[in-house]
Amino acid sequence: MFLSPPDFSLEEAFLSAADSERCFEALKRTVAWRQDAMRIAGRQIDLPRLTSWYGEPEAVHTYSGIRNVPLPWTSELDELRRKVEAASGASYNSVLLNLYRGGSDSMGWHADDERDILQVIASLSLGAPRTFQFRRKEPPRDMVSMRLGSGSLLVMKGDTQRHWVHRVPKEPAAGERINLTFRWVDPARLAPLRRAS
């Protein structure tokens, strides 16, 4: 069966070098970072990165057993959201922030395919460049790799989350990086599942 390549656009210089550095320093200092953990085989395992969730009050989202209740938009995050919306042509009511403290911090293979997330996800990178990879879910497990630099904007669209997983692998020599993934979370989309269960 033929499956199309991942549907995405990449703007490598969405933010200037100066704006990227300013945003990185401001977010690192002001965001309410937390250390989340997942339960694997009965053990609590810390995620290999720090995270935070901001957005509209209704944009409550659960993934990997972690319930994210949004903190209110800061002026910095709201300004970035409006810029990303203008560039991507989509609307977002929440943002997940990940702080990679060095090359041993990472994100494993996953797809943002939860039922309550709408299809367009915009990913803004700040700080140290990192490798980002797509891999097809079904054989043949084709892979697409790219380098995301500071100020780059990757917008994932269409059926990408349905047919592809993605990750940020470990890179021992990498420095600090902040990634923001803007989403539209609609808890009402889960209501039919709750009624059926």
The burial of 33, by beta-carbon neighbours within 10 Å (0-12 exposed, 13-18 middle, 19 or more buried), is given as middle
Number of folded domains that form the chain: 1
DSSP state of 70: P
pLDDT at 62: 85
Beta-carbon neighbour count of residue 21 at 10 Å? 15
CATH number, domain at 48?
2.60.120.590
Residue 81 lies in a domain: yes
Q: Are 32 and 71 in contact (CB under 8 A)?
A: yes
pLDDT tens-place values along the chain, 197 residues long: 445 788 999 999 999 999 999 999 999 999 999 999 888 777 888 999 999 999 999 999 987 778 899 999 999 999 999 999 999 999 999 999 999 999 999 999 999 888 778 779 999 999 999 999 999 999 888 999 999 999 999 999 988 998 999 999 999 999 999 999 999 998 776 644 344 43
Residues in the chain: 197
User: Which residue range forms the structural domain that includes residue 99?
Assistant: 14-186
Nearest to 174 by CA among 109, 105, 97, 108: 105
Residue 7 lies in a domain: no
User: Which helix or strand (DSSP H or E) is residue 193 part of?
Assistant: helix 191-196
pLDDT at 45: 87
Residue 98 lies in a domain: yes
